[in-house]
């Protein structure tokens, strides 16, 4: 008998080693190396189509024919926006999110929408039986003969079924439950996830089938399995939101067919997920009037402007080392902006605890929110509320200057639509365009000028 060979693979990053190690050299995580049996014929080759053999020859780029990717639209405008304008045939889309967040509900609703448009859809469930899927479909009011349900985890049976049915769309829920019988490791391991995703990618590309796969996430919030999984697929979507809140955010992290900054917002109701047409109203509907430490900022999420409320609470510390906590924004940005306020404006913040939060559960990561954070901190520290009809936009530099931001016209138009009267924005953004009627544009060049305009001093 051939000697049994084994190797150790990191479950987090996919690093391979001939011996076990407590700490992975690739990602630095502890106790993430697992043993897997290595087979001599583990590398399998797939038969290529005649078209792929022809296209494999080196060709001058001027001789390559360009074809516009045909997109298929769903009834969900939010999903279409996040995907870059619709579903591309032959694409492989990975959707990750916390358990119970609504991934299966979203894909089942999308499957029903495509089936109602006379597209054949194959929904493969590895975690639920066909009866369980039917019960969920009845709760969502889904019924269509073009939607086929299949409960299977064996990849060879799944491939054979796709060959027989030949659907236009395939949903695999989830990739961690699918296994290939030729690989000895357990389902969900690095080797299984990698090989199963590679096989599904081959099926989708050769047969021009759009495939959606669901991926579990780790406790850190990233998709479980090796990072290679995200590199293999065409699009990576994250379904975010608190399980005990009704709003869900679908965010594109990677997209070969569109922007990676797009965001779609849904509301979880009894009848399933419903898209939110105007998210700015939702984020501002419970805003307190006349409360110190509250500022509204116009942030860009891809091509969509969104108005959100940034709240700050500044209080004297009880310890020698003051606390700096932030939810929804980068926590490293808080001490940086507090240092700017202390050095350039003269606020004594070194003995103050700072707690910041973006209301509504949305996460902001663009530099245009710097000025709103600084105004919120100053408002809470001085106990002076900002005007409820003010919107603050701008990037703050370390020398205290306010720098220009992109897409200022769209941000101001969104603020005007919701009834804001004054926009505090960078002075360099004022030229070359005209603001809407009824809106007062206040250009500022420094943080001191912004605080003077927003707080009166």
* 102 annotated ligand-binding residue: yes
Separation between Cα atoms, residue 415 and residue 22, nearest integer Å: 53
236 touches 213 (CB < 8 A): no
Residue listed under structure tokens 């809407």: 436
Separation between Cα atoms, residue 417 and residue 415, nearest integer Å: 5
Query: Can you say whether residue 348 is alpha, beta or left, with left for phi > 0 and alpha for psi between -120 and 50 degrees?
Result: beta
Query: Can you say whether residue 335 is alpha, beta or left, with left for phi > 0 and alpha for psi between -120 and 50 degrees?
Result: alpha
404 touches 445 (CB < 8 A): no
Which DSSP string corresponds to 30-65? Answer: BS-EEEEEEPTT----PPPPHHHHHHTS---GGGSP
* 101 annotated ligand-binding residue: yes
Give the tokens for residue 79.
């999903």
* 97 annotated ligand-binding residue: yes
* 363 annotated ligand-binding residue: no
98 touches 218 (CB < 8 A): no
450 touches 402 (CB < 8 A): yes
- Which residues are part of a known binding site? 97-104
- Which residues are part of a known binding site for ATP? 97-104
């Amino acid at each position: 008998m051939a000697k049994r060979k084994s190797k150790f693979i990191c479950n987090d990053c996919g690093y391979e080693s001939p011996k076990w190690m407590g700490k992975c050299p690739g990602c630095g995580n502890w106790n993430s190396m697992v043993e897997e049996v290595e087979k001599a014929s583990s590398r399998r080759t797939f038969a290529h189509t005649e078209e792929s053999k022809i296209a494999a020859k080196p060709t001058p780029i001027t001789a390559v024919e360009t074809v516009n990717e045909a997109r298929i639209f769903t009834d969900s405008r939010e999903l279409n926006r996040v995907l870059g304008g619709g579903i591309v045939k032959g694409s492989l889309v990975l959707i990750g999110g916390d358990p119970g967040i609504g991934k299966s509900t979203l894909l089942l609703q999308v499957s029903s929408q495509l089936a109602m448009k006379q597209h054949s859809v194959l929904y493969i469930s590895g975690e639920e039986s066909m009866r369980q899927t039917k019960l969920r479909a009845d709760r969502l009011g889904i019924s269509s003969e073009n939607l086929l349900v299949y409960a299977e985890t064996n990849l060879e049976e799944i491939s054979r079924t796709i060959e027989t049915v030949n659907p236009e769309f395939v949903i695999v829920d989830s990739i961690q439950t699918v296994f290939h019988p030729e690989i000895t490791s357990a389902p969900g391991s690095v080797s299984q996830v990698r090989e199963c995703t590679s096989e599904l990618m081959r099926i989708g590309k050769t047969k021009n089938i759009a495939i959606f796969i669901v991926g579990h996430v780790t406790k850190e919030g990233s998709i479980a399995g090796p990072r290679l999984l995200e590199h293999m697929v065409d699009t990576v979507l994250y379904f975010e939101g608190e399980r005990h809140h009704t709003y869900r955010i679908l965010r594109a992290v990677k997209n070969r067919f569109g922007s990676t900054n797009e965001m779609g917002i849904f509301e979880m109701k009894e009848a399933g997920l419903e898209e939110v047409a105007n998210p700015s109203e939702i984020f501002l509907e419970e805003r307190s009037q006349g409360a110190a430490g509250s500022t509204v900022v116009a942030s860009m999420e891809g091509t969509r402007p969104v108005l959100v409320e940034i709240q700050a609470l500044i209080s004297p510390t009880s310890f020698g080392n003051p606390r700096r906590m932030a939810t929804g924004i980068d926590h490293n940005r808080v001490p940086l902006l507090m240092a700017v306020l202390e050095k350039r404006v003269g606020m004594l913040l070194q003995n103050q605890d700072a707690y910041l939060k973006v209301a509504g559960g949305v996460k902001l990561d663009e530099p245009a929110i710097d000025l709103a954070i600084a105004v919120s901190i100053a408002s809470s520290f001085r106990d002076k509320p900002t005007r409820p009809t003010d919107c603050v936009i701008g990037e703050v530099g370390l020398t205290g200057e306010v720098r220009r931001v992109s897409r200022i016209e769209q941000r101001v138009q969104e603020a005007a639509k919701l009834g804001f009267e004054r926009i505090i924005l960078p002075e360099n953004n004022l030229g070359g365009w005209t603001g809407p009627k009824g809106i007062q544009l206040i250009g500022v060049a420094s943080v001191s000028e912004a605080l003077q305009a927003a707080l009166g001093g």
